[in-house]
DNA sequence: TTCTCAAGTAATCAGTCGATTACCACTGGA
DNA sequence: TCCAGTGGTAATCGACTGATTACTTGAGAA
């Protein structure tokens, strides 16, 4: 219908660019259906290439998923780092309070549904040997960043992560589809996304175009 | 090699009991691998019956998963209700503060890994038409309970749910396996489970029997 | 005792999916 | 210009899985 989707022999492209394109497509697909629910063929179609090419590019479906997780974590930490960097000058009183900046950065990451949802799917598959190890390492990497680089206290990290997991869940459950019809859903979303509710609703394509 | 697992023609049983047994097994399997990752055969083996019987009992795999979600929500709300009921008398000052009681009830539910993890898997599959609808309805049911029956404010529900989602994630990711080796994991778990860390570690079977 | 229905299985099928193989076509340097 | 390597596909295979069918067995009411 729209965005990423071709059909013909797929215009030639440098492998690195194609890889990034496939990773982006895979992130979307894994985010929607999880590791087991996603198929390499769905990823291939979303990326506009053939299924065997996707598999050969990463070796196995599992390796592809791990690549998606790694890329998502890189993006997450990257966004956090720029938020942290741009936070200092804008803070005249000198004392540390990067919560706002990092929170906003996180909220913006929600724009790519697949990114945080793929991570979330990975988190929940902790029983899987390889995926679990990757997920734990990534989660702890984020923890350490918040604790050490961002200067959060243990309680602050804890609160920040809890907030993040709730947001991920609300996006995953597509709570926004009930925003207009269920008062509880509306209140919950308004509370969880103080000023961002409209923004989130829009990018979920759940709202009529509205005036 | 322990708990639920038989082999021979499965001793005869009343359908209702068998159904509960299968639901318990399915909860464990879905909790570990998610909806798509779990197989009806794995559920059957865990319940000690044949695979066709599992399917015929619920019609489809999806119906089985929905039954698991419904049962999990019933248990969750049931545990909340008893916690809320037993909370009144123990509170001499009269003012409302059921947070402790409900939090403890939730922590105890973590003992059944599958219960909250199956829910979590359902939550994240919000894009699926049927599962998503069931998950949203259940989530909102919990929200309303906390808001109306437990008397939480919108902010309190929000905080309580965030905490819950983080706990679910920590259980799903099996963070406890890194408790002994990674200081960050230890700090995170100690912060998230103030007094319950040891308890959680034990029931994940991740700790050596310890003195 | 007998008869019937509920509890349960074995066998098997059709669709799906990840992976493999063999092949094709462009592009850029010698 | 040629040719080698890279970017890509078509065809297909084997394993897995959810579902279906047809059959078996035990318990309890008449």
Residue B157 lies in a domain: yes
Residue A45 confidence (pLDDT): 98
Residue B112 lies in a domain: yes
B14 touches strand D (CB under 7 A): no
A55, A71, A44: which is closest to A134 by C-alpha? A71
Q: What is the Cα–Cα distance from B144 to B77, expressed in whole angstroms? A: 11
- CB-side exposure of B51: number of CA atoms within 13 Å? 6
Query: Residues 6 or more apart from B64 whose CB is under 8 A from it?
Result: B22, B26, B40, B43, B54, B55, B57, B58
- Look up the domain containing A112 and give its range: 62-173
Residue B178: which of A117, A125, A136 has the nearest Cβ? Answer: A136
Best residue in A29, A147, A172 to probe B by mutation, most B CBs within 10 Å? Answer: A172
Residue A208: is its pLDDT beyond 70? no
Residue A179 lies in a domain: no
Residue A103 lies in a domain: yes
A56 CA – C17 C1', rounded, Å: 15
All residues of chain B having their beta carbon less than 8 Å from the beta carbon of residue A182 are 140
Instruction: For residue B35, give how far its alpha carbon lies from the nearest alpha carbon of chain A (Å).
Output: 8
Instruction: For residue A82, give how far its alpha carbon lies from the nearest alpha carbon of chain B (Å).
Output: 23
Tens of pLDDT along chain B (211 residues)?
333 434 456 788 998 999 999 999 999 999 999 999 999 999 999 999 999 999 999 999 999 999 999 999 999 999 999 998 875 544 444 444 567 788 888 888 998 999 999 999 999 999 999 999 999 999 999 999 999 999 999 999 999 999 999 999 999 999 999 999 999 999 999 999 887 656 666 666 655 544 3
Rounded (5°) CA angle A46-A51-A53: 105
A9, A70, B183, A12: which is closest to B175 by C-alpha? B183
Reported as a pLDDT band with limits 50, 70 and 90, residue A201 is: low
Query: Between chains, do B166 and A168 touch, taking CB under 8 Å as contact?
Result: no
Which positions of strand D lie within 7 Å of protein CB atoms? 6-11, 16-22, 26-27
CA B12, distance to chain mean position in Å, is 29
Residue A32 lies in a domain: no
Residue A43 lies in a domain: no
Q: How many domains does chain B have?
A: 1
CATH code, B33: 1.10.357.10
Residue B190 lies in a domain: no
Joined tokens for residue A189: 């979303």
All residues of chain B having their beta carbon less than 8 Å from the beta carbon of residue A168 are 124, 165
Residue A97 lies in a domain: yes
B134: nearest CA partner in chain A: A173
Rounded (5°) CA angle B48-B132-A169: 100
Q: What is the Cα–Cα distance from A70 to A162, expressed in whole angstroms? A: 21
């Amino acid at each position: 219908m729209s965005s990423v989707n071709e059909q013909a022999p797929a215009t030639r492209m440098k492998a690195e660019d194609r890889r990034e394109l496939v990773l982006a497509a895979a992130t979307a697909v894994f985010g929607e259906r999880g590791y087991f629910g996603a198929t390499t063929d769905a990823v291939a179609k979303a990326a506009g290439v053939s299924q065997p090419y996707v598999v050969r590019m990463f070796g196995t479906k599992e390796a592809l998923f791990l690549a998606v997780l790694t890329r998502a974590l890189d993006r997450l930490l990257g966004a956090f780092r720029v938020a942290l960097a741009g936070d200092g000058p804008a803070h005249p009183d000198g004392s540390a309070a990067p919560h706002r900046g990092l929170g906003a950065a996180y909220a913006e990451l929600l724009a790519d549904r697949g990114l945080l949802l793929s991570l979330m799917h990975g988190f929940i598959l902790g029983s899987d040997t390889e995926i679990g190890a990757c997920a734990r390492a990534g989660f702890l990497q984020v923890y350490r960043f918040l604790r050490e680089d961002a200067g959060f206290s243990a309680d602050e990290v804890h609160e920040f992560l809890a907030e993040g997991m709730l947001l991920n869940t609300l996006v995953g459950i597509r709570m926004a589809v009930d925003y207009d019809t269920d008062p509880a859903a509306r209140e919950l979303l308004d509370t969880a996304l103080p000023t961002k509710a409209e923004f989130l609703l829009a990018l979920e394509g759940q709202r009529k175009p509205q005036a």
